Each structure stands twice: as C-alpha cells, then as structure tokens.
Amino acid sequence: MSDIERQAHWEDVYTTRGEKEVSWFQENPAPSLDLIALTGLSEDAAIIDIGGGASRLVDDLITRKFRRLTVLDLSGAALAAARKRRGDRGADVQWVIADVTKWEPTQTYDLWHDRAAFHFLTHHADQSAYIDRLRKALKPGGYVIIGTFAPDGPERCSGLPIMRHDATTLVAILGNDFVLIDTRRHDHATPWGAVQRFQFSTFRRAEQV
C-alpha cells in the first residue's frame, strides 16, 4: 500500500463509520491511563499520542489536568472529530496530521503513547523509520507505551494486515537504550462484543543516549 493509499484508507474509515463502528473504540481507555499513571509524570509532562485519531484518551488526560498534549494521526477526519468533541477544552492540544514514519518532530516529549499504530507497520523499513522518529522526539529518561495486538491476537485490523508483538519483539526493535519496565496483556472488547487480545509494553529511555 502506497502512502497515498494508506492515508485514503484511513480518511475513508473515519468519514464513513461512526465512532462505535470501529473495532478499536474505547469508552474508557483505562489500560493506557493506568500505564501513564505508572510513569509518575507530572501534569506538566509533554505527552504525544501516536495514531490517536478520534480516541478519547486525550479527553481523559485533559480531565486529569495534563496541559501539554499532542495527538498525531494520518487522518485529518479523525483529528477533526476529536477536536470537535473537545470544543474549547481542546484548544491547547496540538493536532498533527502526519504519517509517523515521515513526520519530523519539532519538539521533544516526556511520554510517547501508541495504542494500535505500530502494529500496522509490517515492513522493516517502516519500523526503522518509526523508531528513528521516536528517538528524535523522546527526551532522555522519557517513557514509551506501545500497545499492539498480542501474539495470539488478530492478524488483521480494518482490512489491513498487522504484525503482532510482545515485549520480547519490541525490546529487540527498540534497542538497548530502552529499558522494559512493565508488560501486560489486555483483552479489548469491541463495540459488538468480540475480544481482541492486546499486549502493552512500557519502556523508559536511558538518561544518557
């Protein structure tokens, strides 16, 4: 799939389906919120949500008084939906329309969160480009939370092939300067009651890189 086709795919998804008509919808993003709390970061922390789309995570982070929030997604329609939902309360959020494998960060972050974006990168070149952006964007000592389909999870999502991961595969991809501090499974219930098995892994980047 070309870059243009990939973007067109996600724009079509978010313009033709309602919020609860996509498998990844969460009324309450509790797994992500628990892991963000685990890091102990203050309300002043700079947080970026990769592939955040129309996710409600940003809503909950605003409620928890986090002030420096960025949501990045390939789909402008997804970000527009989230921005409309937040209204004035989302005025300070940075909404970035970009392909994470080609994005050039303009600031650094204390936390990089990704629920179900990385597993769409099935080619080594795309994974390497993602890690390159992660290294540019994340501060030394910062945290990375990556949620993907688990090894016994689905093999496709939204009609696209994905690559399933666990902590071991992510450790190998991220490299030695990222230390695994937590790994856990999560069974996500889709809006129509199917179960998707996820694996969430949390890393801390070395202070000296």
pLDDT digits (tens, 9 = 90+) for 92-139: 999 999 999 999 999 999 999 999 999 999 999 999 999 999 999 999
Interatomic CA distance for residues 86 and 58, integer angstroms: 9
pLDDT of residue 209: 64
Interatomic CA distance for residues 131 and 153, integer angstroms: 23
The stretches in the chain having pLDDT less than 50 are none
156 Cβ contact partners less than 8 Å away, ≥ 6 residues apart: 162
Q: Residue type at 14?
A: Y
> Domain spanning 3-205: which CATH class is it, in words?
alpha beta
pLDDT of residue 7: 81
Interatomic CA distance for residues 20 and 66, integer angstroms: 26
pLDDT of residue 169: 97
23 Cβ contact partners less than 8 Å away, ≥ 6 residues apart: 157, 158, 190, 191, 194, 196
pLDDT of residue 102: 96
pLDDT of residue 125: 96
In this structure, the number of other CB atoms found within 10 A of the CB of residue 26 comes to 16
Interatomic CA distance for residues 89 and 175, integer angstroms: 38
pLDDT of residue 166: 97
Burial of 93 (0-12, 13-18, 19+ CB in 10 A): buried
- List alpha helices for 17-123, DSSP H: 30-39, 57-63, 76-86
Asked whether 29 and 188 are in contact (CB, 8 A), the reply is: no
For 177, the token pair is: 């300067």
On average, the pLDDT of the chain sits at 94
